A and B are shown apart, each in its own frame.
Chain A
Amino acid sequence: MLRFTFEEDNEAHGVGFFSRGTNKNRFDDFVVWAASSGVLGADTSKTTEDDPTVTPDGDGQAVSTPDKTGTGAGEVPANNPPDSDVSPPDPAVIESGGDVVAVLGCGNCHTISGRDDATGQIGPPLDGVGDRAHTRIPGTPAEAYIRESILTPQAFIVDGFPAVMPSFEGAMSPDELDSLVAYLLSLSTGDVDEIKGVSDSLIGGRDVAEGRSPEHGPIGAVWIAEAGKWVAGGSGMTEVGGAQADLRLAVETGISHAAVSIDLTWNSGFAGLVTRYTDAKNWIMAWYDSSGFVIAIHSADGFEKIERIKFDWGDTGSTHNLKLNDYGDNIDFLVDDTLAYSFDPDPVPDSTKSGICSRGGPENGFTDFSVSESGTRPEALDDEPDAAPQGPIILKPQVVLPPDPALEPEYVEEWRERRKTPHLAGSLSNQGYKLEAVVDEGIAHPITLTFGDGVLYLASGELAELEKELSTRSNNCQTADSHLPF
């Protein structure tokens, strides 16, 4: 599994790109750092003029130039960002730092969630210290602050706590101290409030990211290591109130049949996943949007097939898991492990890039963006979800049945509001014929009719595929190239 966090390995510590700039409608100021390995950084002071990894194309849009050679170690771009000399956190180092905590007995006075040996109440809790360390003393970076707090704790006392901590200078080797600092820096609560202040230590990713916002200016997403979150943002959001910006971020994973997953706290707009990303015209995306639909799009040479499926996500601000499981021919989109849509794309874009997509407020926070091999498609998905019971209801003409809850979808009222009054046309108009509804209520969806022995028989029920079609149509999407129901 590729999990785009610091903890994964020494080479790739996350992926991200970030934007800045004042020109809302162009990419001239768009900054992206991306490469395959090594320590990378995002420097929001950079512009395209001094960053050779970003080259404006003919349309004035910045395109990044990724490292094409793969994931070999040490392939740091020639033009290192200024903060590239910060050592990458090493999981092993962090782990040994955790051991130091046990040896020194830090937990006698401090609480660290999840550790039985750290439940002390004398000193401030250390949960999230990695998030807030840089805020304690203006001008003092997080690492320096933590180091100082260990060696000369009296230099800064957190409000509300006694100044009783002894110095630990000399109590451990320099390596042990380094590992302890790394461990404490890794303690994150993911507090969104802290993100802005630590953006200078953003870490770039393995490969290229693409940001598109043709109407609203540069945008981007960054992995905030200290906060443990992905954050999508851009000038369209930060500088233009209420404006939206598209984000498409695709990462070279080397996995052709990928299972892409994020935990998402969704607040506005939409957010979701992208896979099989070849270029701006060839990709597969699925996301949840604030109108209560799952949107699924397969773009082939810019020819987009769009499906909109009603899906109950819940309240904004709630956190859910999204998965895009790519089995090659079938691609399933799951929300909280419930199948929301299944692609059967043709052609399948030949790509091993996957990622995230977003539009909306800056607090569509992503966590745990991960990519792994999709494995085998579960057999449980080999039949349609929500196969509603259905069958013939028997009707005598002009008899209206009471509503049957089992046959009433939750949004039938929405359809009823949408339905219009048809009229006769062509050869049947002006013939003295009348068109009337003999059954107006009580049947959610009549499918087929037949007469027999003076009785009108009716089969009614749900047709899952048809609902998708209806949703598409109701939003004035195309008819000719949409999925046909029969």
Chain B
Amino acid sequence: MAAEEQGKQKTIAFVLYPGLTVFDLTGPLQVLTALSAIAPEYRTVIVGERVEPTNTDIRVKMIPTHSFEEVPNPSVLLVPGGGVPTLRAMSNEPIRNYVRSAAETAEVAGSVCTGALILGSVGLLEGRQATTHWAYYKILEELGAKYVRKRWVEDGKFICSAGVSAGIDMALALAARLTDEETARRVQRSLGYDPHPPFGGIDYDHLGAISAVRAALSLAAPVIAARPKQLTRQNR
């Protein structure tokens, strides 16, 4: 295929880092890899600090296709989230530097779940509408973003999805943005994505005991955001 020649293809880069919630990355990766089969002008790559086995939350090690240096200017940058490892990544210099510089030149910079906190930690979401996993919204606000409780939120070149599985819906919307709705529908068909949660949707107003997690994270939000904010100020 001619479009596969280097330079002609547009690169969609997913950031992989130790301990991430790999479902965050996998949903959009599966969607956009299916897109690249239909629209070969796109290719998906997975970038990490080093091309080596990287541990994930489900203990299956995953191997990126490229190092950060090898993909300095992707057309699309997507940052997945996670729990504590993501909070740690917010202060990790190689990850921060890559996300900051790659997002600057990308046409679209996006996040899944708490990946938004990494975008926010380098100052990219200041004053912008964004979303994240429901339990972590306070940290996102602490980083200067305007939290919106939606499945995904677009603001300029930024696109952020809610927690984990929301990345699939966001990636389909992104596929339509990169090509057209007809192509995005074909991608959905090829994946067989036709969700029917067996016990209905989520009632966000009645989360019960689990909302204690959100309360605890909200209390800790200023502390969690302090160091990344300080790092960002030093960088300016």
The judgment on whether A and B are partners is no
Which A residues fall within an 8 A CB radius of B? none
